[in-house]
Amino acid sequence: MIKVKKFTFNPFQENTYIISNEKKECIIIDPGCSNLNEEKEINFYIENNNLCPKYLLNTHCHIDHILGNNFIKSNWDVKFGIHKLENELLKNSKTIANNYGIENFKESPKPDFFIQENQLIEIFELKLKTISCPGHSPGHILFYEEKKEIMFSGDLIFKNSIGRYDLPGSDYQTLCNSIRKVCLIEKNVKIHSGHGPITTLDIEKKMNPFILQIHQ
């Protein structure tokens, strides 16, 4: 049995996910915890459920998705992975944090490995397949568990919306191509987005005005 826990953190209202299995192993995706109270919230959940974090993964390295990287990496023996094309964003995170007026920013550690297209991140029966989906950022990826029919889409697809394409390193046509690729998945996958509520791929194909326009 796979359990997904969502936390909504920081002024950007970013969604952080902890996915755990029956063996109490877990993967942490996009930790956005930005202050002591948010760090305590994650720590309490992990300790109260006797979880053992194995991986820290970033769908992309925009500042709201990496604010908790340092906290996670400092407190648990996790393997930290990002896409190689996100490394420049990660390296410049301190400057970006200053530009946003984020105080007491704890700089992210360097990744332990770079995640490749179609790479499987596995713990026990949980197999997260990496799908490359640039456009919102140069090396944006999402994680898809085909058997469980769940997806962690980062900032690619939201309920009734899509990721921004007006940021440095973003591109609208590239984003559209990534969304078209994901929409080829025929299963009604549950989408856990980087912001906002849970949705499904079927709902977004039928109701999302941005996706409907992309498919015209």
Tens digit of pLDDT for each residue in 96-139?
Answer: 999 999 988 999 999 999 999 999 999 988 999 999 999 999 99
The single residue listed with the structure tokens 């799908």 is 131
At 125 the pLDDT is 85
Q: What is the rounded distance in angstroms from the CA atom of residue 85 to the CA atom of residue 114?
A: 9
Look at the domain 3-214 and name its fold.
Answer: Metallo-beta-lactamase; Chain A (3.60.15)
- What does DSSP say about strands 25-29 and 126-132: parallel, antiparallel, or unpaired? unpaired
Measured distance CA(45)–CA(155) in Å, rounded: 24
Residue 104: its pLDDT value, please?
87
pTM exceeds cut of 0.85: yes
Q: Look at residue 98 in the predicted model and tell me its pLDDT.
A: 94
- What is the pLDDT, as a whole number, of residue 91? 96
Separation between Cα atoms, residue 58 and residue 80, nearest integer Å = 8
Spans in the chain with pLDDT lower than 70: 216
pLDDT at 216: 61
Mean residue pLDDT of the chain comes to 96
Q: Would you list the domain boundaries of the chain?
A: 3-214
Q: HEC string of the chain?
A: CCEEEEEEECCCCEEEEEEECCCCEEEEECCCCCCHHHHHHHHHHHHHCCCEEEEEECCCCCHHHHCCHHHHHHHCCCEEEECHHHHHHHHCHHHHHHHCCCCCCCCCCCCCEECCCCCEEEECCEEEEEEECCCCCCCCEEEEECCCCEEEEECCEECCEECCCCCCCCCHHHHHHHHHHHHCCCCCCEEEECECCCEEHHHHHHHCHHHHHHCC
